[in-house]
A and B are shown apart, each in its own frame.
Chain A
Amino acid sequence: MRPRIPTILPSVRLLKRGYTYNAPSANYPGHVPTNIFQKLFLAAGSGIYSFFDPKRADLIATLGEATAVPFLMKRLRDQMLSDPTGRRILRDRPRITSASIRVDQLLSYPENTIGRTYAEWLKREGVSPDTRARVRYIDDEECAYVMQRYRECHDFYHAITGLPIIIEGEISLKMFEFANTLIPMTGIGAILAPLRLKPKQRERLRTIYFPWAIKNGATARPLINVYWEEILDCDVQEVRDELGIEKPPDLRELRKKRISRL
């Protein structure tokens, strides 16, 4: 009879690994291995801070990574793996930066193309594709890329829905993303951030934007599977139709109307 050392069930060992301090080595360049307590700490810290200072995109990014439950990230990755384009994205690993996307060139595209709308949107909101942080706290290398991709495509979601980056637009888009991708941070943001708003703004979200976001997010095709770089010259409305998204009412217009009425 072979002597047998009492062992722990592999599933228990897997859970335990999250609690140990001898964290495993980095799984990809830039990876910061963390255990479950560290993740909770990061999530709480970045969550509280960004609640009071929603402009801190880096903290929101950290919140996103720290709360990225492996199960849900794997689900999103599997969604990509089930789709030919999603697979191609995972294989090519494209990054959206000012080097890969020439914004000034996009401005010369015909009106109503994805590229033109995106570039105009960047200009109008005064942001650049390079403002996106690197993913650090997600342990699985492939899931880390999925998160990176989501983050970099976020601006395209703004462009295609036309929602501005003022806080209400951001919250509506977060709800839309949550319904579409199930990334926990987007849901947390969409639920908690409205607490800071005025009642009138909250009502607008509740009656107009959240219903739109949930309905469209849930019924649209997975946006993570869109190879934005390849459809820059496509018509926005066509892409919207193809993905199954309705354009929400223009937030800035609504605000203007309300102000003029006052």
Chain B
Amino acid sequence: MKLCTLRATLPVRGRVFRTYAACRRLSSKSTLETVTGTQSGIAFDNSATISQTCSTTMSNLYDVVIVGGGISGLTLAAGLKSSPYTSNLKIALVESMSLASAKNWSPENDRYSNRVSSITPASRCYLSQIGVWDYVYAERVQPYDDMRVWDGVSGARIHFDAFHLGAEDASIAFMTENLNLQHALLSRLNDLPADPPVMVLDNTKVEGITEGPTFDDLDLSSWPSLKLSNGDIIMARLLVGADGVNSPVRSFANIKSRGWDYRQEGVVAVLDMEWDDRQRIAWQRFLPSGPIALLPMPDGKASLVWSTSPKHATHLKSLNGGAFCTLVNAAFRLGMVDLQYLMTRVDEEEITQEFEWRDGRLPIEAEGQQFPIRVVEVQEGSRASFPLKMRHCDTYVAPRIALVGDAAHTTHPLAGQGLNLGQGDVASLVRVIEQATQEGSDIGHEIVLQQYWAERYPINHMMLGVIDKLQKLYCTDFPPIVGIRTIGLEVVESLDWVKKIIMKQAAGA
């Protein structure tokens, strides 16, 4: 607590002097003075002049330790390093997997990764602001300005057009591979003239998180101390958990995450369309078993997210490519009974014949207007599935701990918001840390962090709630419910101003 008492009196770079002062009290030797003046952050030279305990501690003290090298974690690192107020923070990023493949990633012609995200204009804006968007391979980004969503049971439709967002050339969202973003973030971090640079520890697992040690004169007991798989122990003024749904940081902070599983799995795949549709439309149809979405990608490809029961997900993954594509087409075009029937079939020829028969009965003018053009091929090895759940933490912060992205909340992919909510968290947390450094507050203090929580919790909670209710509303074919939702959807469709509000919210404005 001695550390805290010093805090208020020190301005922007208070933490340097504070730690230094604390260390001087510990060590009788005064050679430390040489390292403080010129260097930013707390990158101490652990020369032998410092006593043994002290050296271990000092070199392993960080202002911010980010656990998780996913998009949220990397964006946070890039965001902090891009801000003039926070660029001198000493930051470490710990990731259990190797980041080499993301770092050296370059687009492979005609092959796309199946991990794809929809980036809202607000997220893109933030990524441009912190200089990351310039590193993104633009040819691998597909904006879309038209979105058609309809009810598979009643056929009620809603049509979102980017013109509702105001600007002439506005886009509803941008589709890109997560790898493209991760690569851009890592490149940006690499090129940033930050001093000290972000310490990226990939291939390193966090083996345990405990409270920090207490020395005679230096009390680090409130600092989380991370035991890493490479044997190091690092301590953080602020530990940020960007470590996904099963966040170890969250468990350490003893923060409860509430929610439920949807008993659905999201089947993803990269698909080849019949031709390169220049219309740039995102399609989503709500089936009683879960929504199916087809999102445009460059080069006449499309990305599929089909939320369905685990049983069907397994079945869809086990089918051969041709039959799988036919089922995707059927899911967008045919009636529910036909689809259910086709789901019970395994023979490709039979599925194709049945599909062609029913598809042939559809009006030709609906093609490309009411449902997407046909899918013809699925990219080898691109089919995968993941369980869908809703989780929201009671709080995102604890003393010296903050959670961002999936660690704080997980949602159904039906609105394409998962990654964007995380980006919103990061932008907010960076703002709060910036302000704290300007005021000379301790960035790890709960009062500081609570501003972040207060700003993000209501926004995330509303979005998660709306998505959850939509999911529940559309996961039934009980006629009265279908009737109500059909009328509701049609009312929204006929009121431009309501649509405008919805789109602004979804765009993250």
A residues with a Cβ closer than 8 A to B are: 2, 4, 7, 9-11, 78, 81-82, 87, 91, 142
* 17 other A-B residue contacts (CB within 8 Å) besides A10-B156, A78-B337: A2-B163, A7-B494, A9-B490, A9-B494, A10-B490, A11-B156, A11-B486, A11-B487, A11-B490, A78-B335, A81-B335, A81-B337, A82-B340, A87-B341, A87-B354, A91-B357, A142-B361
Min CB distance B235 to A, Å, is: 57
B residues with a Cβ closer than 8 A to A are: 154, 156, 163, 335, 337-338, 340-341, 354, 357, 361, 486-487, 490-491, 494, 496
Docked Cα-Cα span, A87 to B345, in Å, equals: 13
Min CB distance B153 to A, Å, is: 12
In the complex, which residue of chain B has the Cβ closest to the Cβ of A1?
A: B496
**Which 9 A-B residue pairings sit nearest by Cβ, starting from the closest?**
A9-B490, A78-B337, A81-B337, A82-B341, A82-B337, A7-B494, A91-B357, A10-B490, A81-B338
Give me 20 A-to-B residue pairs in the complex whose CB atoms sit less than 8 angstroms apart, sorted by A's number. Answer: A2-B163, A7-B494, A9-B487, A9-B490, A9-B491, A9-B494, A10-B156, A10-B490, A11-B154, A11-B487, A11-B490, A78-B337, A81-B335, A81-B337, A81-B338, A81-B341, A82-B337, A82-B341, A87-B341, A142-B361
Please name all residues of chain A whose beta carbon is closer than 8 Å to the beta carbon of B341 when the two chains form the complex: 81-82, 87
Please name all residues of chain A whose beta carbon is closer than 8 Å to the beta carbon of B494 when the two chains form the complex: 7, 9
Docked Cα-Cα span, A10 to B483, in Å, equals: 12
In the complex, which residue of chain A has the Cβ closest to the Cβ of B486?
A: A11
How many residue pairs at the A-B interface have CB separations less than 8 Å?
Answer: 27
Please name all residues of chain A whose beta carbon is closer than 8 Å to the beta carbon of B338 when the two chains form the complex: 81
Please name all residues of chain B whose beta carbon is closer than 8 Å to the beta carbon of A10 when the two chains form the complex: 156, 490
Please name all residues of chain B whose beta carbon is closer than 8 Å to the beta carbon of A81 when the two chains form the complex: 335, 337-338, 341
Please name all residues of chain A whose beta carbon is closer than 8 Å to the beta carbon of B163 when the two chains form the complex: 2
Please name all residues of chain B whose beta carbon is closer than 8 Å to the beta carbon of A9 when the two chains form the complex: 487, 490-491, 494
Please name all residues of chain B whose beta carbon is closer than 8 Å to the beta carbon of A78 when the two chains form the complex: 335, 337
Residue of B163, B340, B341 most packed against chain A (CB within 10 A): B341
In the complex, which residue of chain B has the Cβ closest to the Cβ of A9?
A: B490
Docked Cα-Cα span, A4 to B164, in Å, equals: 13
Docked Cα-Cα span, A11 to B156, in Å, equals: 8
In the complex, which residue of chain A has the Cβ closest to the Cβ of B495?
A: A4
Docked Cα-Cα span, A91 to B496, in Å, equals: 43
Please name all residues of chain B whose beta carbon is closer than 8 Å to the beta carbon of A82 when the two chains form the complex: 337, 340-341
In the complex, which residue of chain B has the Cβ closest to the Cβ of A8?
A: B494
Please name all residues of chain A whose beta carbon is closer than 8 Å to the beta carbon of B490 when the two chains form the complex: 9-11
